[in-house]
Amino acid sequence: MIHETTLRARYGETDQMGIIYHPNYYVYFEMGRTEFLREMGGMSYKDMEDAGIMLPIVETHCRYRVPAKYDDCLIVKTGIKDMTVARISFSYQLVRAEDGEILAEGETVNAFTNKEGRPINLKKFNPEIYDKLFSFKTKAV
């Protein structure tokens, strides 16, 4: 399943040329991932942390296609690309709402760890959360 999060590019996120500064795309991806978990998975990051599950990023990638600009209405499309008992990969597309043009595509790989940062087998640690997340796995966004 794919989740869509809508946001508007703010002035403070731009560079001198009025283009969204490249690290902000990762902030947008995080917003998409957070809302995906909240709305699709029925749990927030805080809920997962309260259950003793942390999701540190261990790998990330972004392909910039067309610049996003100040005041663009943007859609972050988020899906689960792959998932094992130890990791989850999210895929993203950042799309300009006005014309549907794909501005960027990205991926993050998050590990499942405990609060001490040690890897966990999510299926054994919390089968309910594992099953819920696994049910939303897609091919890609």
C-alpha 107/C-alpha 141 separation (Å) is: 10
pLDDT tens column, 28-75: 999 999 999 998 878 898 999 999 999 999 999 999 999 999 999 999
| CA–CA dist 127, 129 (Å, integer) | 6
In the chain, where the domains are located: 3-134
Give the pLDDT score at 46.
92
The count of residues in the chain is: 141
- Neighbouring residues of 23: CB distance < 8 A, sequence distance ≥ 6: none
Pairwise CA distance, residues 135 & 5, whole Å: 20
Q: Does domain 3-134 have CATH number 3.20.20.70?
A: no
Tens digit of each residue's pLDDT (9 = 90 or more) over 88-128: 999 999 999 999 999 999 999 999 999 999 999 999 999 99
Q: How far is CA 80 from CA 66, 117, 130, in A?
A: 24, 22, 12
